Amino acid sequence: MTEPLLKTELCGLHMDSLIVLLSGCVGFGEEYTRVEGFSNRDVGAICLKGTTGSLRPGNAPHRIYETPAGMLNAIGLQNPGVDAVVDNILPTLDFSETRFIANVSGSTLEEYIEVTRRFDDSPIDAIEINISCPNVKEGGVAFGNDPAMSARVVEACRGVTDKPLITKLSPNQTDIAANAKGCIEAGTDGFSVINTLMGMAIDIESRKPVIGNNQGGLSGPAIKPVALLKVHQVYQVCREHNIPIIGQGGINSARDAIEFLLAGASAVGVGTALFYDPLICPKINAGIANYMRQHGFASVSDMTGCLQLNG
């Protein structure tokens, strides 16, 4: 069971652990909760798979490819559509055990509004706005890399829901802090930092990209240094407004998670690590708790942003 000192609050949600399972890595929750030995007390929240207005079949294969210290994926937002998720999937989830966060995706502003409005009329605990998906050919990337468009999406979604809004920021942009500032002004309650980096793998025999979509999102330990810097940069804006960050990108140990907390995260996201160690969350929790006892931290919030810069 998670230790009391790991309990935290994120955008008004009370969580038993600071760990959030990332969108796309655990289906709609049921794919992970059926793993033998799993306890929902090990995780504070689960982000559901990215959901669009209508059913999407996703990209052509190959969709996943292992890389040195990472993984490329280009699933293409395969999902049954928001009505099927709200009507058929949400009723099967146990909202008493953990928090569930919807992940809203779209190709147009109107689609983001439609999907957000539909989730607003549901038991979902919070809504993550995916404006930064690097493995679809339209929509997310354009929105996420343009600060003005990012703010427009956040503002539009804010207008149709009172649920907590968490904006997922892209690392594939010029000034992530400026984008974050615009999203705060537009009404976001928190951030997920970062989404995957854009990458490619090539089959030298066929001389073609391995991924059917040609490019995909790179995740895993390879992107951790980039993610840490982006969290630190966004935190400089967020701390002025008391806006929390879910730090994510290559976390596969307690040490990794602690680094993100020190850089400015209030919670940490675990994704790719689940593919090779589905029960890694209790190990991360135990390591963080041990570090907190050793260094005299009474709560997770005491650790957030404690980074001491050189010079």
pLDDT at 135: 43
Cβ–Cβ contacts within 10 Å for residue 286, how many? Answer: 14
Q: Which residues are catalytic?
A: 133
> In the chain, what are the helix, strand and coil shares in percent, each to the nearest 5?
35, 20, 45
Rounded to the nearest 10 degrees, the angle between the axes of helix 176-186 and helix 147-158 is 20
Q: 62: cis peptide before it, omega within 30°?
A: yes
47 and 166 Cβ atoms separated by less than 8 Å: no
| Assigned token pair, 172 | 């594939």
pLDDT at 97: 84
> Which portions of the chain are predicted below pLDDT 70?
1-4, 40, 133-142
- Domains for the chain: give ranges and CATH numbers: 4-303 (3.20.20.70)
85 and 109 Cβ atoms separated by less than 8 Å: no
pLDDT at 143: 72
CA distance 154 to 146: 12
> Which tens digits make up the pLDDT trace of 34-61?
777 777 678 999 999 999 999 999 999 9
Which residue, 48, 16, 10, 7, is CA-closest to 191? 10
pLDDT at 107: 87
User: What is the number of helices (H) and of strands (E) in the chain?
Assistant: 11, 16
CA-based R_g, the chain, Å: 18
> Could you tell me the pTM of the whole model?
0.95
Instruction: Look over the chain and give the mean of its residue pLDDT values, rounded to a whole number.
Output: 92
| Assigned token pair, 286 | 């135990």
| Assigned token pair, 275 | 């593919």
Cα of 235 vs its chain's centroid, Å: 16
Under 8 Å CB-to-CB from 87, ≥6 apart: which residues? none
